[in-house]
Structures are given as C-alpha cells and as structure tokens.
Structure 1
Amino acid sequence: MPCNIRSALPTITISLSATSAYADFRFNLQPAVTPIATEIYDLHNLILLVCLAIFIVVFGVMFYALYKHRKSVGHSPAQFSHNTKLEVVWTIIPFFILVGMAYPTTQTILRMKTVENTDMSIKVTGRQWYWEYEYMDAGVNYVSNLATPRDQIDNKAAKTPHYLLEVDQPMVVPTGKKVRLLLTASDVIHSWWIPAFGVKQDAIPGFINEAWFQVDKPGIYRGQCAELCGVGHGFMPIVVEAKPQEEYDAWLKNQKAQLAATAEAATKDYTLDELKTRGETIFNSRCAACHQANGQGIPGVFPPLVGGAAFANQDTLKRLAERGFAKDGKIVLGPKDKHLDIVMHGIPGTAMQGLGAQMTDLEVAAVITYERNSWGNKTGDMLQPKEVAAVRKSKG
C-alpha cells in the first residue's frame, strides 16, 4: 500500500502542481530490509505485471473488436448464443494464471510462518497504548512509549519528520540474526506492524502469535499499531533499531545495569519535589493521552484529575463502590491507598488499565505523588517506592 500518503493529501488538495506534494507522495511499498519483505516486494511487482498483462490483452481484444466490427463499416451483429470452445479456453487460461500466482504466494506465506532455527526470542505485549518488550533469553524487560512531545500533538510546536513515530525506548536487535517474536496483548487486539520488515501480526489477549525477521543492515525502522485499539491507537508507534553485534552486546549490558540501578533506586526515600519531577515525565508519557497534560481529561470519556477525578459514569461508580471506594468516585484527593489501587490494578471493564505490571515501584510512587500535588491539587502527601513494594508484596 502507499506509504506516507496521508502527509501528501492536504498539499495535493491545495495544488496538484505543488512540488512538495510530489516529494511526499509514495506509489510503492517501503524499501525492504529483510528477506521476507524482499519476497513480498518481488511478489507484489510480479502480480502487478500479471494484472497489467491481463488488462492489455483483455481490453486490447475488446477495443479491437469494437473498432473492427463497428456498424459504420458495414458489420452486423452475429447471431449465436454461445461458443463451447471459447468458453473452455477462457476458463482454463485464468485457472493456470491463478495457479501460477498462487504457487509463489504460498511459498512466501509458508516462509513467513516458519519460525525455526531462531537466534533469539522477544515477547511483545500490546497494551493501551504502548508496547512491552521482554527479551526471553536475556532477562531484560521494558516498555516502549510514544516520545513525541505533547506540544506537537496539540499543535503548539512544529511537527518533526517522525511525528507520532518516536518512542522513548525502541526495540533493539542485532543485525544478521533471526529474531522470533511472540506476540500477545493484555487488553484488546493490537497489531505489530513494521512495513520495511514485511511483518504485520496481530497481538490478541490470551493467545500467542509468532512472527520473525532478520535485518542485515544497521538502522532505525519505524511502524505503528495497525489494529484499531481505542482512543490512543494513533499514539502507539513501533521503533526497531538494528545494531551490529558488538554494539548490541554493549546495549544489552547497559540495559541490565539500568535494571539493577532501578531496583536499587526503589529502596531509597525521596523528597516531594523529586517525586513530582519524575512523576511529571511518567505522567506525560503514560497518562496524558487520556487525562491530558493539564489533568482536565476528555469530557464524557476520561475523567479529570483536577479536583479529584470525579467519575460521572454510573457503571464506573458502581464498579468502584464494589471495591470500597467513596460514593463520589473521587480518587486523586481521596485516600492514598485507593489511589494506588486504581493505578496498580485499573478499573475492569473500562479503558483504565492496571499499570502495576508495567511500571516500577518508583514510577508508580512518582506518578501518584505528581497527580496528588499538581494542577491545583495540594494534598501535600507523597508515596514512597517502599510503600508500593509493600503493597505489591502483600498481594502476591
């Protein structure tokens, strides 16, 4: 399908002759960087050539017949109902054409689905609205969030070339290695799609789907979630960075060191300002898509956090009441333990997903502290990572 076509359409609408429109417009697939993507690209071109040949032959014969046997040169219509030989011929020929196209297509699909002799495995979990990557053989796990600044999304700043296609932590893989992906989801159906890899695989809750790719050229490759998955669907990019083996090994070592440092940091006590500063960054990357950077939420969809996040939806209030929450549905200005419960476990049946499994103790503590002391909320209290760890441990 055409790539980057949406960015060209407004310019084309204004002026078909505009130079920038032709510069942005794409008529073909993205350049292939994996063996499967190359096969798909070649197959795509082959089928197009077959279709072109059929078009020329069929319409060529039709237009020739119309011109050669027109009434103005004395021809009159033939009187017959059918021609058995002709009908057999135009049934057999398309049959062989379809078989000729089906054979290479089947071979490519089988190679796409054959996940054998892989060098490494990465579990990919789609969540509303970010990706989680777990390196099965290395013990490394992290989440990848949209990194496009909120000002660009709100049209307060100029958009960069990779608008909505930037993440804070890309998937990193070594070049020349066959990477197996194990794809699933925690909430709704997502779809992991990198056009240059020829990989587009659904991530379905409760199921594990497989895919694979092998990138031989170092570089940064971008994609998006390709399955409508909710209000934040357009804010769920995918970025894969392919590095030479030595650089990948250094990155992996650094990731393990960061995980150890994060675990150590969670044992310390922090000031209110330290937690708020860290919490603001986390909130803008994880929560602002729904609750907005100013905490005002989206009327009728996501509640505001200003003044305590009063839920207007009666069904949501009922769900909260069953879990012991106050009848007014206020969370941010309510007890800390209730606020923590919402962030950790979410509200089943709503778009508010539990973040406890995707955030560290320090991140949870920081974002809750930030919410309770921002936008006019002035509780003055704070949550330490140790408190989060204790709750996590008590609930297994």
Structure 2
Amino acid sequence: MRYFSKMLAATAALTATPALAQENLEIIGRPKDGLMGFQPAATELARDLHWLDNMVLIVITAISLFVVALLVYAILRFNRRANPTPAKFTHHSPIEVAWTIIPIVILVFIGAFSLPVLFKQQEIPEGDINIKVTGYQWYWGYEYTDHEFGFESFLIGEGKVLNDEVVAELEAAGYSRDEFLLATDTAVVVPVNKVVVMHLTGADVIHSWTIPAFGVKQDAVPGRLSQLWFKAEQEGTYFGQCSELCGKDHAYMPITVKVVSQDVYDAWLQGAIEEYAGTPQGYNVAAAE
C-alpha cells in the first residue's frame, strides 16, 4: 500500500495541472545553516509566540543581571578583607518578604501575557478547511474531510542519501537539493488567509505535527483526536518535522505545507478530488444524488 501511494503521489505531482500551478512558490519556512532564532512568522499565532519569547527574554535577562550584581556586591562587600567581623543575625524579615512577593509578582506578570497566547491556540475556531492528520511510522496521512479524499506524504529520497536520482526527484517536484530531508512527495495545500483546522491522531505510536513558521505543534496520539488551527497570511512553501520521538526513522518524517491563492487552491482541489477520490472533473455529485 505504501509503495502504491508513493507511485500515485509521484504521478500526480508530475502530471496534474494544479501541481504545476504551485511551482515558483517562495520557500519561507525552512531551517537555514548558521542562523539562530525563529523562522519568519506566517500566522498571528507565530507572531504572538515571538513577542512572548522576546518579552520573557527581557524579564529573565533583567533577573540574571540583578542576581549577578548582587553576587558581585556580596563578594566585594563581605569578603574577609573588607568585612573581617561578619554579622551574626539569623534572619531579615523585610528581605525575606521581598524575595517571596517579588517572584510571585513576576510570575503573575508573565502568566498574564502567556495564558492568552495559550488560550488562543487551544480555542479552536470553525475551520474553512478541515484536514484529518494521521501519523504513521514514518510518514503522514492527510484526509480533506470536507471533500472526502486523502493521500499519504513521504520523504523524497527514501534511501536518505543525497544522490543524482534523489536530486532529480526533488527537482521534478519543484524543489532543490537544499530541501533534501525537508520536502515530501505530496504536500498539504491550503489557501492563504483561511482558517485551517487539523484533526490529529496516531496510527501506531505518538507523533507530533508541527510547522514552526505557523507557531503550531500538536501531538498525534493513537486512540485520541486532538486539534490545532492556523491561518497562514503569506503564500509560500513551509516545512516541519515530526517532533515526538517515534522510532528509528523519526528524523525522516518531514511535513510540507504549500500556502497558495484561492484560485490556485480551487484548481488544485478540483484535480485532487479527481486524482485521490476518483471523482471526474465536472461530475456533479449533488445532481447525481
């Protein structure tokens, strides 16, 4: 079944007109050698996370500098040479009250900003697009439940070695050798500025679906259906990776999402329904019923 799905996906990628329409998308969400920090934020959720991370970094930097300053002061002020006769008191009530209350205030301050960010992620809105995601060892399955079709997504380069054959497969799918171990033979395609709700589960062990540029990550647990949502604001190709250790090929379980215009999505959807659901283009299902 797996090899049949891979062959079907490869054929669709090379022959379907909607797939050609997705070419020349800017690759935005991918790791880059030698860089640190977040990928560019493509959703409101990701921007919230970036802002929260920067805010908490400022808070913990201030705390760290304050503690270092106290240590330096204590070393210089209370060493044996500067203070040969140490004090013998056992407690200092104002200081003890301060170092209890001030950390509580800091934690409440951080919580006041972090909890709304968390709630925004966990309060799932009504989706314009609904996709069921199933994690397998070691690939992903996607089902567009609104249109009753689905496909499986595999790493391009099953041998996990970059050679001429794999480079040819990458180029045939619209990628370059730089996307090796990131690109998949079939991608999730969604329209820009639409709410996408992903319903996640696992078929065997726990997996985790994530796109860093979207600011989303959710475990796919066998026997449980969990959800995440995003609304991508910029067209482009985005990459993710299974983020829960799931076996020997955990590192070779990438995720590819293409965000396209509504017109391109509609064209892709029509071709995908024909390809994966077996419904010919132009066939009026409602009329047939």
Q: TM-score, normalised by structure 2?
A: 0.78
Aligned-pair CA distance for 1:126: 0.8
Amino acid at match of 1:154: V
* Residue in 1 that maps onto 2:100: 91
SS at match of 1:79: coil
Residue range with higher mean Cα deviation, 135-144 or 164-173? 135-144
- 1:164 pairs with one of 168, 181, 196: 181
RMSD of aligned Cα (Å): 2.1
- 1:136 pairs with one of 140, 145, 160: 145
Aligned-pair CA distance for 1:167: 0.5
- 1:175–1:218 contact (8 Å) kept in structure 2: yes
SS at match of 1:24: coil
* Residue in 2 that maps onto 1:192: 209
- 1:214 pairs with one of 211, 231, 245: 231
- 1:129–1:233 contact (8 Å) kept in structure 2: yes
**Structure 2 unaligned residues grouped into runs of 5+:** 1-29, 168-176, 281-289
SS at match of 1:71: coil
Identity %: 40
Count of paired positions: 241
- 1:236 pairs with one of 238, 253, 277: 253
Aligned-pair CA distance for 1:63: 0.6
* Residue in 1 that maps onto 2:54: 45
- 1:148–1:165 contact (8 Å) kept in structure 2: no
SS at match of 1:47: helix
Distance in 1, matches of 2:150 and 2:277, equals 12
Aligned-pair CA distance for 1:108: 0.7
* Residue in 2 that maps onto 1:107: 116
By percentage of residues, which structure has more strand?
2
For 1:1-396, what aligned pairs fall within 5 Å after superposition? 4=31, 24-73=33-82, 75-148=84-157, 150=159, 153-154=160-161, 156=163, 160-259=177-276
Distance in 2, matches of 1:232 and 1:69, equals 57
Amino acid at match of 1:119: D
- Mark the CA change 1:249 to 1:262 in structure 2 (over 3 Å): closer, same or farther: closer
Q: TM-score, normalised by structure 1?
A: 0.58
- Mark the CA change 1:105 to 1:74 in structure 2 (over 3 Å): closer, same or farther: closer
Distance in 1, matches of 2:60 and 2:255, equals 33
Aligned-pair CA distance for 1:62: 2.1
- Mark the CA change 1:248 to 1:75 in structure 2 (over 3 Å): closer, same or farther: same
SS at match of 1:124: strand
Q: Which runs of 4+ in 1 moved over 6 A?
A: none
- 2:151–2:276 contact (8 Å) kept in structure 1: no
- Mark the CA change 1:230 to 1:254 in structure 2 (over 3 Å): closer, same or farther: same
Aligned-pair CA distance for 1:156: 4.8
SS at match of 2:265: helix
